[in-house]
């Protein structure tokens, strides 16, 4: 497909991107630059680059830094076709006076150096503005050598030379930046051509990506007298897959937008382009994937082409917590498909792989969990099976290419790959490109270093708020790169009867004892490291990682060791060693036991006292100390309100120790609840979920965000409390949507508890900026939107 595409149209000249006159796009300039590089027999020898380790000059024609983006095609509200620049901006850019494009790289670098502001140069080079101000004072530069010779005076009293050269470094950094952008724009061109081919297909369908009929929108115009415009208007046709697969008949009824999702996946499959189904959580991504599996099988069975390759077995990899749900959904929606689970001990998994290898035609789908495909033996087993496609649920797990899971799963051979995630953009643009590189490595072949260089540049929250230079340019390129590979719909776009999700922030005043703990740690971390240990009592590891310690202090003082001093801990350890059997204690060394207890928090030591009250009860904390937290008090206040109103609530925390503490509080107050954490056995998880969903007398479900935030259905609850925020806001959004999803009949309220005047306020602001970035990249908001405040 890609070989037959026509080149993308030349970008429009004159558009302002870096400065009013610098670095404008021109295909002619790029071609001329390429000719100048190859035709010169004796090019000027340039000093060795040393600013970007391992980054080599691009072999493709160099283009000016951040040339103009491809033409826009649709409004930013479309999930697949994303506006990059509106018409008003086009006119503004074209109206600005700009010099003609330069014919070689040195001229483009000179234009950049002569016209860019200090802030713009700082964004490109990563250098300090005060240094670059000296560079700008020497302008204009007639040639590149003059720019390289710029020096800056050293501070008074400095030894050795009185001046230091900065021009060399600035020129080198700008050249590297231009080359990196040229490489990225090569990728942007490929992606825009793919998007054009996909868009041409989608435009002919009589239903849009939200599942709404296009024919109804054009019905009024059809009743009017024909005009030249209406006569030439395209006539819509039904999508290639007009009905849900026969394998699903009688078992479910797909919604129109889900049928569009099936057609979109099938289209990308035929084009052999890996993709991301990124519908908001709760819109039935599982159902759509099952429909694709059914379609592949049905289409092959009905085909009269005997030369076609059998489109199975297909691998689906899911989190352990959703494995049973996936099995149940296959049984519910498509019982006629043959699904085999790849799980068990290593020997059992090897036997399953051997069974599939000897009779691959017998198994349409291989269902596995991430925890069961975690070593070379499993990867080799997948390689021997002869997989046709590979689909990865919660695909944002592949956001970091340096992780073992990314490297292992990338080795799984499949002719086509797809990711399922409601959050394709989480923390930064680099994570998004890692996802795309996982499913379409040929697109980024040879360019990932350049992409990492541009997209990994740090942008502070203040920079984003102030419209940081190049921030919007990175977003525009990211949106163009993402467009052909992603289908993302929100609930409010496709479900007219979906109850609303209402989000509120509730700020909690800390308890007086808690305030004292927080203030002590806040003061401690202002001291030099050598003075910290003596200032705050408790565990030695409480002196480390100020960010985490302040987070703990904002949650509950029992997360530190303050009540149990060293003498108490040593006495407790000796009593346990003398009175508890090693079958229960499992620690024969008294020194190790003492250290283990010293490394525990007050709450952890309280659990020992609770479990051995006859031995350790006299050492325990006072019962009321579990209430020494503003957030715990507010949580109980809300739970009491919910019980009176007949509401049911999910409570999420990032930390398993916090969930255990809340579990202890609810147990003391005789409030029925269920608990799901990472340590909860996979077999028990679905039972806990079913118990909560089926029993209205259980008002509270406590879950860790990591274990309970993805892939499970808890629509029995209509309230969600985020007890403490994740640094990644998409984790919390996924947790919210355990309740706000298909099947929910009531309005869903989301409460974020934030301890006032603490580090949690900063975390909340940072998370809002990350959400703003994700919305801009996926087209949920335009670059002109003010964003979240």
Report DSSP letters for 234-260, one per residue.
PPPB--S--S--GGGTTT----HHHHH
Residue 324 pLDDT > 70? yes
**DSSP 3-state of 718:** coil
Q: What pLDDT does 345 receive?
A: 93
* pLDDT tens figures, 202-214: 888 988 888 888 8
User: Percentage of the chain with pLDDT > 70?
Assistant: 76
d(CA 134, CA 580) in angstroms, rounded, equals 73
Confidence of residue 47 (pLDDT cuts 50, 70, 90): very low
Domain 202-221+235-423, what fold?
Rossmann fold (3.40.50)
Residues across the chain? 789
Closest to 201 (Cα-Cα) out of 245, 231, 232, 240: 240
Task: Give mean pLDDT, residues 375-379.
Answer: 93
Which has the higher per-residue pLDDT, 11 or 356? 356
pLDDT the model gives residue 544? 59
* β-bridge mates for residue 651, sequence order: 702, 721
Average pLDDT estimate for 80-103: 33
Mean pLDDT of 411-436: 84
Higher-pLDDT residue of 536 and 339 is: 339
Residue 33 pLDDT class (50, 70, 90 cuts): very low
**For the purposes of burial, counting CB atoms within 10 Å of the CB of 61, is it exposed (0-12), middle (13-18) or buried (19 or more)?**
buried
CB 551 within 8 A of CB 760: yes
Answer for the pair 752, 505: CB distance below 8 angstroms, yes or no: yes
- pLDDT digits 0-9 by tens, 635-647: 999 999 999 999 9
Q: Which CATH architecture is the domain 502-509+629-757 placed in?
A: 3-Layer(aba) Sandwich (3.40)
pLDDT band at 410 (very low <50, low <70, confident <90, very high): very high
The pLDDT of residue 681 is 86
Distance CA 369, CA 76 (A): 36
Cis check: omega of the bond before 140, within 30 degrees of 0: yes
What pLDDT sits at residue 4?
39
The position carrying tokens 């159902």 is: 287
Contacts 24+ apart (CB under 8 A), 23-26: 23/64, 23/65, 23/66, 23/67, 23/108, 23/111, 23/112, 23/178, 24/64, 24/67, 24/68, 24/98, 24/101, 25/63, 25/64, 25/67, 25/68, 25/101, 26/63, 26/64, 26/67, 26/101
Averaged pLDDT, 109-119: 84
Q: Is the pLDDT of residue 423 over 80?
A: no
Q: How far apart are CA 717 and CA 639, in angstroms?
A: 12
Q: Any idea what DSSP says for residue 213?
A: B
3-state secondary structure of 7: coil
What is the pLDDT at residue 219? 54
Query: pLDDT: is 216 or 458 the higher one?
Result: 216
C-alpha closest to that of 725 among 657, 652, 636: 652
Per-residue confidence (pLDDT) for residue 783, from 0 to 100: 41
Mean pLDDT of 330-351: 96
pLDDT above 90: residue 454: no
399 Cβ contact partners less than 8 Å away, ≥ 6 residues apart:
426, 427, 431, 432, 434, 435
Q: What is the CA 87 to chain-centroid distance, rounded?
A: 31
Q: Would you say residue 276 has pLDDT above 90?
A: yes
Residue 76 per-residue DSSP state: T
pLDDT in tens, 730-758: 889 889 989 998 888 999 999 999 999 99
What does 172-206 look like in DSSP terms, one character per residue? Answer: HHHHHHHHHHHHHHHHHHHHHHHHHHHHHHHHHBS
pTM as predicted:
0.65
> CA gyration radius for the chain?
30
- Check residue 155 and give its pLDDT: 55
Domain locations along the chain: 2-193, 202-221+235-423, 502-509+629-757, 512-626
Residue closest to 736 by CA, chosen among 767, 757, 762: 767
Cβ neighbours, 10 Å, residue 95 = 9
Nearest Cα residue to 439 out of 645, 221, 191, 272: 272
Residue of 524 and 285 predicted with greater confidence: 285
Residue 38 has pLDDT above 80, yes or no: no
Average pLDDT over residues 272-285: 90
Q: State the average pLDDT over residues 554-566.
A: 94
> What is the mean predicted confidence (pLDDT) over 656-684?
93
Question: In the numeric block, which tokens belong to residue 538?
Answer: 């408790």
In this predicted model, what pLDDT tens digit does every residue of 306-319 receive, in sequence order?
A: 788 999 999 999 99
Long-range contacts of 661-667 (CB under 8 A, 24+ apart): 661/556, 661/558, 661/559, 661/603, 661/626, 661/632, 662/632, 662/635, 662/702, 662/723, 663/702, 664/603, 664/610, 664/626, 665/626, 665/627, 665/632, 665/636, 666/700, 666/702
d(Cα 665, Cα 659) in Å, to the nearest integer?
A: 10
DSSP 409-470: HHTS--SEEEEE-S-S-SS-HHHHHHHHHHH-TTTTTTTHHHHHHHHTS---HHHHHTT-TT
633 pLDDT above the threshold of 90: yes
Has residue 689 got a pLDDT over 70?
yes
The closest alpha carbon to 589, from 601, 573, 565, 600, belongs to: 573
């Amino acid at each position: 497909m890609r070989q037959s595409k026509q080149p993308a149209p030349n970008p429009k000249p004159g558009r302002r991107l870096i400065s009013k006159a610098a670095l404008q796009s021109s295909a002619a300039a790029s071609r001329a630059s390429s000719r100048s590089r190859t035709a010169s027999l004796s090019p000027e020898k340039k000093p060795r680059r040393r600013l970007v380790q391992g980054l080599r000059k691009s072999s493709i024609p160099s283009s000016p830094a951040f040339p103009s983006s491809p033409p826009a095609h649709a409004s930013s509200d479309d999930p697949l076709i994303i506006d990059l620049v509106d018409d008003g901006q086009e006119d503004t850019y074209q109206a600005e006076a700009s010099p003609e494009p330069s014919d070689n790289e040195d001229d483009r670098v000179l234009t950049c150096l002569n016209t860019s502001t200090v802030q713009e140069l700082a964004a490109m080079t990563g250098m300090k503005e005060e240094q670059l101000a000296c560079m700008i004072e020497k302008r204009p530069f007639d040639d590149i050598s003059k720019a390289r010779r710029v020096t800056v005076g050293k501070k008074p009293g400095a030894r050795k030379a009185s001046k230091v050269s900065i021009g060399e470094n600035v020129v080198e950094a700008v050249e590297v930046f231009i080359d990196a952008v040229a490489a990225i724009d090569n990728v942007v061109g490929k992606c825009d051509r793919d998007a054009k081919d996909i868009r041409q297909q989608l435009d002919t369908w009589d239903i849009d990506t939200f599942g709404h009929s296009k024919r109804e929108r054009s019905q009024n115009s059809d009743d009017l007298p024909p005009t030249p415009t209406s006569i030439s208007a395209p006539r819509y046709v039904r999508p290639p897959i007009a009905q849900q697969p026969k394998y699903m008949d009688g078992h479910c009824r797909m919604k129109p937008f889900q049928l569009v999702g099936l057609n979109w996946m099938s289209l990308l499959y035929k084009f052999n382009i890996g993709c991301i189904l990124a519908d908001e959580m709760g819109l039935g991504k599982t159902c759509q994937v099952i429909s694709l599996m059914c379609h592949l099988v049905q289409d092959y069975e009905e085909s009269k082409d005997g030369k076609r390759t059998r489109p199975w077995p297909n691998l689906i990899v899911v989190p352990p917590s959703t494995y049973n749900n996936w099995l149940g959904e296959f049984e519910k929606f498509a019982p006629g498909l043959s699904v085999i689970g790849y799980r068990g001990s290593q020997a059992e998994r090897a036997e399953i792989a051997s069974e599939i290898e000897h009779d691959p035609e017998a198994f349409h789908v291989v269902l596995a969990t991430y925890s069961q495909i975690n070593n070379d033996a499993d990867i080799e087993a997948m390689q021997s099976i002869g997989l046709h496609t590979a689909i990865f649920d919660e695909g944002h797990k592949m956001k970091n290419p340096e992780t073992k899971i990314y490297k292992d799963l990338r080795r799984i051979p499949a002719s086509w790959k797809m990711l399922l995630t409601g959050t394709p953009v989480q923390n930064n643009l680099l994570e998004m490109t890692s996802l795309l590189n996982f499913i379409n490595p040929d697109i980024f072949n040879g360019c990932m270093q350049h992409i990492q260089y541009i997209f990994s540049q740090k942008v502070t929250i203040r920079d984003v708020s102030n419209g940081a230079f190049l921030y919007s340019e990175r977003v525009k390129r990211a949106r163009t790169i993402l467009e052909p590979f992603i289908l993302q719909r929100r609930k409010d776009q496709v479900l007219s009867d979906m109850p609303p999700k209402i989000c509120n922030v509730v700020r909690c005043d800390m308890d007086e004892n808690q305030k004292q703990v927080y203030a002590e740690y806040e003061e401690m971390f202002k001291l030099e490291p050598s003075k910290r240990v003596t200032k705050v009592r408790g565990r030695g590891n409480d002196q480390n990682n100020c960010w985490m310690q302040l987070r703990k202090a904002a949650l509950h003082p029992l997360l530190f060791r303050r009540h149990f001093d060293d003498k108490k801990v040593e006495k407790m350890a000796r009593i346990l060693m003398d009175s508890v059997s090693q079958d229960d204690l499992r620690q024969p060394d008294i020194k190790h036991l003492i250290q283990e207890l010293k490394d525990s928090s007050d709450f952890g030591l309280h659990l020992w006292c609770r479990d051995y009250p006859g031995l350790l009860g006299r050492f325990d904390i006072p019962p009321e100390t579990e209430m020494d937290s503003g957030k715990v008090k507010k949580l109980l206040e809300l739970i009491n309100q919910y019980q009176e109103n007949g509401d049911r609530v999910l409570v999420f925390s990032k930390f398993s120790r916090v969930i255990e503490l809340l579990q202890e509080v609810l147990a003391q107050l005789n409030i029925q609840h269920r608990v799901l954490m990472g340590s909860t056995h996979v077999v028990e998880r679905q039972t806990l979920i079913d118990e909560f969903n089926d029993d209205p007398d259980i008002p509270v479900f406590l879950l860790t965000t990591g274990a309970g935030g993805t892939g499970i259905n808890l629509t029995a609850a209509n309230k969600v409390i985020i007890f403490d925020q994740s640094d990644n806001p998409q984790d919390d959004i996924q947790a919210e949507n355990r309740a706000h999803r298909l099947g929910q009949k009531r309005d869903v309220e989301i409460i974020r508890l934030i301890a006032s005047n603490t580090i949690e306020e900063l975390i909340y602001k940072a998370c809002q900026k990350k959400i703003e970035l994700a919305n801009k990249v996926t087209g949920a908001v335009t670059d002109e939107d003010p964003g979240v405040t």
